[in-house]
């Protein structure tokens, strides 16, 4: 990739390019230059962003390089892609990733819910089929209130995940309180329903973003996701509520520390999922 871009004649007046570092992967160099173009106002927020074909011609790079660079820009909330509508500039700076730091204490896990909020899009009664029963580890045909939502860090507009929340029907009154910067579901279970979770089980795995989330989060097909299932249990080991979340990797990071309990010197390990 040249150190200074050589845009085609029909775009030369719009996109004067800055030199970029010669080291690093080609897609990283292109990403940096495209970010600079957005930040200096060459592509204003809400304006159309060039197509893959235009970027290939303008920068003299392959379509694969363009896709990798723009994929990162989509994940960071700088641009969005809509089938048949092209790409649109959404922000001048990447979304600051939400970082969940924990030393594996119960209270640490509880503070997570209080530092995020749910934007509930729909709710319905749902009978657990075989697939849902396997995810929640609940009996088939058990009945739940299913909430479709996007999760945001408190105070931020850009969502960080597509989420499905499952509550026992007896706790349906919680739904009316899930608006604005609301308390966590754990807190609402305690204050509204008089029920307190005794344990939490969490499962994390790499996945692809499900189809319903692609449009809501303005992501292209095939986008990766961090799939996190969190389940809350009472003292009788009965499932009270669960959340099934697909996080945008660039907008969520989890760091966990384990410490020795055998009397030796503490040893900390940090696990980061991005």
Q: Note the pLDDT tens digit of each residue in 120-159.
A: 999 999 999 999 999 999 999 999 999 999 999 887 888 9
Where a domain ends, among 55, 89, 123? 89
Contact 103, 257 (CB under 8 A): yes
230, part of any domain: yes
4, part of any domain: no
Tally of domains within the chain: 2
Calculated CA dihedral for residues 120, 121, 124, 127, nearest 10 degrees? -80
**Are 74 and 171 in a shared domain?**
no
Displacement of CA 42 from its chain's centroid (Å) = 27
**Are 137 and 172 in a shared domain?**
yes
**Are 54 and 120 in a shared domain?**
no
Average the pLDDT over 48-71 and give the result: 92
Contact 34, 42 (CB under 8 A): no
Average the pLDDT over 241-267 and give the result: 77
Domain that holds residue 76: 9-89
pLDDT(3) > 80:
no
1, part of any domain: no
**Are 161 and 53 in a shared domain?**
no
**Are 42 and 160 in a shared domain?**
no
**Are 33 and 69 in a shared domain?**
yes
**Are 85 and 103 in a shared domain?**
no
**Are 71 and 111 in a shared domain?**
no
Residue 245 main-chain phi, psi, to 5 deg? -125, 140
**Are 151 and 122 in a shared domain?**
yes
27, part of any domain: yes
């Amino acid at each position: 990739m040249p150190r200074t871009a050589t845009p085609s004649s029909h775009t030369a007046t719009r996109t004067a390019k800055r030199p970029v570092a010669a080291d690093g992967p080609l897609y990283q160099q292109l990403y940096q230059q495209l970010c600079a173009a957005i930040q200096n106002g060459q592509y204003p927020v809400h304006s159309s962003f060039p197509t893959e074909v235009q970027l290939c011609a303008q920068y003299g790079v392959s379509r694969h390089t363009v896709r990798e660079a723009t994929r990162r820009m989509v994940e960071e909330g700088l641009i969005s892609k809509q089938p048949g509508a092209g790409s649109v500039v959404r922000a001048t700076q990447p979304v600051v990733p939400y970082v969940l730091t924990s030393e594996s204490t119960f209270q640490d896990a509880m503070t997570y819910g209080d530092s995020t909020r749910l934007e509930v899009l729909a709710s319905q009664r749902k009978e657990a089929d075989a697939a849902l029963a396997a995810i929640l580890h609940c009996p088939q045909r058990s009945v739940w209130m299913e909430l479709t939502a996007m999760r945001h860090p408190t105070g931020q507009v850009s969502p960080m995940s597509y989420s499905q929340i499952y509550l026992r029907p007896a706790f349906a009154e919680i739904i009316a309180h899930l608006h604005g910067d609301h308390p966590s579901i754990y807190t609402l279970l305690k204050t509204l329903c008089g029920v307190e979770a005794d344990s939490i089980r969490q499962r994390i795995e790499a996945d692809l973003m499900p189809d319903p989330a692609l449009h809501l989060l303005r992501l292209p097909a095939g986008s990766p996701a961090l799939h996190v299932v969190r389940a809350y249990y009472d003292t009788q080991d009965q499932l009270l509520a669960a959340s099934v979340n697909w996080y945008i990797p660039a907008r969520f990071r989890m760091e966990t520390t384990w410490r020795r309990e055998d009397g030796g010197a503490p040893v900390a390990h940090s696990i980061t999922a991005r």
